[in-house]
């Protein structure tokens, strides 16, 4: 049985935090729905001390912001977007429309149709998440979404230049300088000046994630992408410095970012905990990372790789860094996670910023039932059917009539019967099931 050398907050404590967040979000969304722009402006002033004449950036404001980005930073942004676009385009090419004749005269098919409007949230509170613009805006653009609205909070009293550049280069049609619950609420519910969208995407803090959860149904969402989670699965093929660095690299995101080490090496586990304390003395973001590690850090010692696999699948973390003597075995056998990072040469930060896979990933065990954001999330697969011959209309209609009556749906049966009469020449009595062909003959 797995042994916890360090355990995070209890589920009960986390549930209390979630309940407080839930109540705040519910009241805030109700205020936005009732008061529209006035509520959004009040919330922006309260949380971001930002009250512009308008939250939507004009073309000249976008150009001015982008002009502040250095040529080298702009080159890096474009390089990252090239990688993400290439992978997204390959994913899109894997999704094809189909049409097949399943029986003589019976045509079935499906089409992949883009969502018609998407709101992309880009976090920017503690850290300006430039890469989140690539992951949401650019991917939606590759999918062919005709209206993409992107929103990020103000940084230092105004729009963050690099975030604006990433949004614009990624293909955003509208850019808002607006953060938090007020941003996702305004995009989903609409206000006097912001037209509502059909879908919300993007990561965020606990309040943004909860707002998306509460808005789901009124709009679509990509997934529940709350505070980041990272897991390191490691054996004695790697050292404590590497494990500790990868754990703290994600723990610095926020005060409630879970980080877990799963290993079959007691020595590695103990040395990693010591190394974490050493690194916390020199890491500039140690205040945040230390709190996350203290409250949300786990070190789990397992008997063998089979037990490590079971524990990892059960926890279903967002980021899973695998550094073992059998990385491909984990690739073959892991089934619940956000994204895998296989081997010591890659790492979660590569996926977060530049390598090409999407960094908006499921958290809080949502990896059990969904993958991360990708081009397919912006596409709806719609089926269609058509019958080309009288013979097929009669044949399908006769069976359909009987199956409808089997369930007691007389009106349904008549939809089939009227076609049996018209196209098959068989006079089925009203409200009765079509006879079997041999009986009718």
pLDDT by residue (tens digit) across 134-187?
999 999 999 999 999 999 999 999 999 999 999 999 999 999 999 999 999 999
C-alpha distances (whole Å) from 248 to each of 4, 204, 243, 325, 375 are 19, 19, 9, 23, 30
pLDDT tier at 204, thresholds 50, 70, 90: confident
**CB half-sphere exposure, 103, CA atoms < 13 A:** 13
Are the C-beta atoms of 322 and 343 separated by less than 8 Å? yes
Residues contacting residue 408 through CB under 8 Å, at least 6 positions apart: none
Known active-site residue 319: yes
pLDDT at 341 over 80: yes
Closest C-alpha among 287, 291, 237 to residue 259: 291
Asked if the model's pLDDT at residue 275 lies above 80, the reply is: yes
Regarding beta strands 339-342 and 259-263, do their DSSP bridges make them parallel or antiparallel, or are they unpaired?
Answer: unpaired
**Helix or strand run (H / E) with residue 367:** none
Q: DSSP 3-state assignment of 322?
A: strand
Active-site annotation holds for 391: no
User: Which member of 134, 253, 319, 359 is catalytic?
Assistant: 319
Per-residue pLDDT reduced to its tens digit, 393-409: 999 999 999 999 999 99
Give the Å distances, CA to CA, from 16 to 10, 12, 224: 10, 6, 19
Read off the DSSP letter of residue 175. E
Confidence of residue 441 (pLDDT cuts 50, 70, 90): low
**pLDDT 10s digits, 224-253:** 777 899 999 999 999 999 999 999 999 998
Q: What is the pLDDT of residue 15?
A: 77
- The secondary element (H helix, E strand) that includes residue 220 is strand 220-221
65-80: average pLDDT: 98
Which residues, listed in sequence order, are joined to residue 155 by a DSSP beta bridge? 158
- Is residue 362 within 8 A of residue 338, CB to CB? The reply is yes
What percent of the chain has pLDDT above 90? 91
Which residue from 204, 55, 45, 21 is spatially nearest to 121, judged by alpha carbons? 204
Count the residues in the chain. Answer: 441
Which two tokens mark 30? 């109700």
Instruction: Give the model's pLDDT for residue 258.
Output: 95
Least confident of 89-93, 202-206, 388-392: 202-206
| Nearest CA-CA partner of 122 in 109, 103, 138, 110 | 138
In this predicted structure, what is the pLDDT of residue 254?
85
State the pLDDT at residue 289.
95
- Active-site residue, from 229, 252, 318, 414: 318
The torsion region of residue 365 among left (phi > 0), alpha (psi -120 to 50) and beta comes to left
Residue 118 has pLDDT above 90, yes or no: yes
Reading the block at residue 117, the tokens are: 């409007």
CB atoms < 10 A from the CB of 74, how many? Answer: 16
CA–CA dist 340, 215 (Å, integer):
29
The answer to whether the Cα torsion of 23, 360, 51, 254 is positive or negative is positive
Mean pLDDT within 272-288: 97
Distance CA 303, CA 193 (A): 59
- Within a 10 A sphere around the Cβ of 21, how many other Cβ atoms? 18
Give the chain's domains with CATH numbers: 15-96+115-222 (3.40.50.1980), 227-368 (3.40.50.1980), 389-440 (no CATH)
**What pLDDT does residue 127 have?**
84
Chain centroid to CA 284? 29
Question: What's the pTM value of the predicted model, to 2 decimals?
Answer: 0.91
pLDDT at position 439: 56
């Amino acid at each position: 049985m797995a042994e916890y050398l360090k355990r995070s907050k209890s589920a009960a404590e986390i549930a209390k935090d979630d309940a407080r967040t839930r109540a705040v979000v519910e009241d805030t969304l109700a205020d936005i729905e009732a008061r529209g722009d006035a509520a959004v402006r009040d919330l922006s002033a309260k949380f971001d001390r930002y009250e512009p004449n308008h939250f939507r950036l004009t073309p000249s404001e976008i150009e001015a912001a982008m002009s502040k980005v250095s040529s080298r930073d702009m080159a890096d942004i474009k390089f990252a977007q090239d990688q993400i676009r290439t992978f997204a385009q390959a994913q899109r090419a894997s999704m094809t429309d189909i049409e097949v004749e399943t029986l003589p005269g019976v045509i079935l098919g499906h089409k992949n149709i883009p969502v018609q409007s998407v709101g992309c949230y880009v976090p920017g509170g503690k850290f300006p998440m430039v890469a989140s613009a690539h992951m949401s805006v650019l991917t939606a653009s590759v999918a062919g979404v005709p209206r993409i609205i992107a929103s990020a909070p103000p940084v230092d009293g105004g729009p963050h230049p690099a975030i604006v550049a990433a949004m614009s280069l990624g293909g955003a049609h509208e850019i808002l300088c607006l953060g938090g619950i007020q941003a996702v609420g305004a995009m989903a519910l609409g206000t006097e000046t912001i037209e509502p969208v059909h879908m919300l995407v993007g990561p965020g803090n606990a309040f943004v994630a909860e707002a998306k959860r509460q808005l789901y149904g009124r709009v679509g969402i990509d997934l529940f992408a709350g505070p980041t989670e990272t897991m390191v699965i490691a054996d004695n093929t790697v050292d404590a410095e590497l494990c500790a660095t990868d754990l703290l690299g994600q723990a610095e995101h926020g005060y409630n970012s879970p980080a877990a080490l799963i290993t079959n090496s007691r020595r590695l586990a103990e040395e990693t905990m010591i190394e974490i304390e050493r690194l916390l003395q020199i890491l500039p973001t140690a205040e945040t990372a230390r709190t996350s590690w203290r409250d949300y850090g786990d070190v789990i010692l397992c008997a063998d790789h089979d037990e490590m696999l079971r524990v990892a699948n059960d926890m279903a973390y967002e980021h899973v860094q695998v550094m073992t003597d059998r990385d491909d075995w984990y690739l073959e056998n892991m089934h619940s996670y956000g994204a895998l990072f296989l081997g010591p040469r890659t790492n979660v930060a590569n996926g977060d910023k530049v390598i090409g896979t999407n960094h908006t990933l499921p958290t809080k065990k949502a990896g059990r039932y969904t993958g991360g954001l990708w081009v397919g999330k912006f596409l709806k697969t719609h089926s269609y059917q058509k019958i080309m011959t009288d013979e097929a209309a009669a044949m399908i209609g006769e069976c359909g009539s009987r199956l409808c009556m089997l369930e007691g749906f007389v009106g349904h049966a008549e939809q089939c019967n009227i076609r049996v009469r018209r196209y098959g020449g068989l006079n089925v009595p009203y409200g009765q099931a079509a006879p079997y062909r041999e009986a009718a003959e």
